[in-house]
Structure 1
Amino acid sequence: MSVTIEAAQETDEAGVVALWQACGLTVPYNDPATDFRFARAGAASDVLVARAADGAVAGTVMVGHDGHRGWLYYLAAAPSRQGEGIGRLMVEAAEHWLRMRGIVKVQLLVRETNTRVVGFYQHLGFEVAPRTVMSKWLDGRD
């Protein structure tokens, strides 16, 4: 597999965003470049990358916490590298990042349009939690 996992650098933004788009993780109402910059700038969040030997970004995960629960976002493995275990490595790296900050529970959300990944997460020990997620746009969107 031969990847190293490290915190994303500012210069990784274009490659990371391109990977997220290639994996179908972006939506029109979230600017992925803004998400990348916001996570990197926060004390309680970061973007981790799996870097191939040639320097290319082969995988990503955005990780953060609210002081109580950890959250994973934008978990991706390059389409040409899926099935190599990069996704599992990214989850493990994010879990380590959270443990180092004293966070003992990690959660993630799966869009109803992306249910093909549920089995992957269940294989890694995640379970479906019976919850109702509620949201409200603060910028006037409906």
Structure 2
Amino acid sequence: MITVTYSATVSPAPVITSALSSTGTAATTFSYQITAANGPTSFNAAGLPAGLSVSTGGLISGTPTIVGTSSVTISAANAGGTGVSTLTLSVYSACDLNRDALTNVVDVQLQVNQALGATACTSDLNRDGSCNVIDVQRDVNASLGGQCLLGP
């Protein structure tokens, strides 16, 4: 009688190691690389926003066309199995400068401030306990010779 012994080594399933949240801007090129430990041989992504696709190498790329937040199922596979995680992908309007999912007067003011070179708050001019866009606007107003500098 002949006895033959076989042994096989199976790699463990991949474990997703890339960040599980990302942001992009509608109508602007976007890319995100899925990464994983344990030698993945293929990648996939399901639930991508319109305008994005995933390559066989795990690169999610394209130009998103819709504003909103998507829960994207990302996966990496090898002979040992499949590792799965959820990527939270938020796509904002190009006009939503403070990324609060609203496009409003604050975003317009941020654009004006940036155009004038005022992008950081230097002091709590309106004395509300926080240094914010309103204070930046008051700095801009003061630099332009405005008279309303303090108070609500």
TM range (shorter): under 0.3
- Specify the structure having the higher radius of gyration (Cα): 2
Normalization by structure 2: what TM-score?
Answer: 0.23
Normalization by structure 1: what TM-score?
Answer: 0.24
Higher strand share: 2
